[in-house]
Amino acid sequence: MAFLRRTLLIALALAVALVLLIVALDFFGAQPQPFQYILH
């Protein structure tokens, strides 16, 4: 049970960190144009 709780806590922390990273990148001006094409 403790193992599961710890795993979930780490997962939550990582997920929050990732999303915060993205938001921070946008905040510091790395946001790209809203659309684009991928050409193979």
Partner 1 sequence: MAGRGGPGAAGARIASAAVALLIALAAAEGAVRLLGLAPEVKLIDVQKDDSVYKRSTNPILGFELKESWSDPAAELVTSYPSTNSYGQRDRERSLEKPPGTRRILVLGASVVEGFGIRDLEDTVCGQLEAMEGPNVEVLNFGVSAYCTRAKVELLKVKGLAFEPDEVVLFFTQNDFHNFNHEAFALGSPIDRPRFVEDLYVHSHLFRTLATRLNWFWFGAQVDPTGWNRKAIGDDNVVDGFRLLRELAEEHGFRPVVALWPRFTDDAVLDPNVMPDGETPVAERLARAAGLPSFRFSPGFRLHRDALGESVNPRLQYTLGDRLHPNPEGCWVAATILMQELDVLRAEDAPLPSPSSDETAAAVARRLGEDEPHPWRITVNLGNTLLQQGRHDEAIEQFRAALAQKPDLAEAHVNWGIALKSQGDLPGAMTQYVKALEIAPDLPDAHYNLGVALAEQGRRERAVQALRRALELRPGFPAAQAALAALTATPERAASP
Rule CB under 8 A: which residues touch partner 1? Answer: 3, 6-8, 10-15, 18-19, 21-23, 25-26, 30-40
What b/e readout covers 10-39, taking b as 16+ CB neighbours within 10 angstroms? Answer: eeeeeeeeeeeeeeeeeeeeeeeeeeeeee
> Scanning the structure block, which residue is given the tokens 């193979």?
40
Minimum separation from the CB atom of position 6 to partner 1 (A): 6
Minimum separation from the CB atom of position 12 to partner 1 (A): 7
Minimum separation from the CB atom of position 10 to partner 1 (A): 4
